[in-house]
Chains A and B, each alone.
Chain A
């Protein structure tokens, strides 16, 4: 979109109203996908995509600048954090003298989520990385 066209476009009222409800729902749904990912269809990648879609939608309805503010972190910082979380979950197994990325599970069950383990942490890392990656590209394309 060229800057000249942008000035003429009025933000659509329908889109603005819909976005207000859709964004939280999408974000919640992305977290739901993330948590059920280990044994059921879902997981960090789809979760990250859905969360990325939520922010992209917000950016379309308002402006990219607003979407960036809503996100708080620059996308590439998110990529960095996500990658570190993912690799950290893999390194965890080294304390147990197992090869890199061996799944280590907690003995105690956490209510609602179930057993917590390093594959879950890995998924969270993937989630953050994918979110950062998608938004890096989408924001890049939407600006100017």
Chain B
């Protein structure tokens, strides 16, 4: 299972990087999304795949059921998802504004304005 996930992570990284190399800005964002998925999946995989109970302490007991999953990678993933959600939301707003002021989503058309600074 780990092997499968490892290939999946590699595929996601490759796909993300490929999308980022495209000229379209929308595809750039998709690439960034894929990249963040790849990272979260990687943390999930290296955190150790187990068939264990969720690390939640049931009511009335002071310890979780014995084979329980490591909660730290899950906490990391949750935080990373929340953060990438925020950053990507900002990025989408940025693209929307770029589109509004430039009228294109081709990143090549953004060039050639450096001299006007």
Contact = CB atoms under 8 A, between A and B. Distances in A.
CB–CB under 8 A between A and B in the complex?
Answer: yes
Interface of A: 39, 45, 133, 137, 140-141, 144
Contacts of A133: 86
Given A133-B86, A137-B93, 10 more contacts: A39-B59, A45-B82, A137-B89, A137-B90, A137-B92, A140-B93, A141-B92, A141-B93, A141-B96, A144-B100
A141 B88 CA distance: 13
B96 to A, nearest CB: 6
B97 to A, nearest CB: 9
Contacts, number: 12
Contacts of B89: 137
12 contacts: A39-B59, A45-B82, A133-B86, A137-B89, A137-B90, A137-B92, A137-B93, A140-B93, A141-B92, A141-B93, A141-B96, A144-B100
Contacts of B90: 137
The list of the 3 closest CB pairs from A to B, nearest first, reads: A137-B89, A140-B93, A141-B96
Size bracket of the B interface: under 10
Interface string B69-107: 000000000000010001001101100100010000000
A126 to B, nearest CB: 10
Contacts of B92: 137, 141
A39 B64 CA distance: 13
Nearest to A138: B89
A137 B93 CA distance: 7
A140 to B, nearest CB: 6
Interface string B44-80: 0000000000000001000000000000000000000
B22 to A, nearest CB: 23
A49 to B, nearest CB: 9
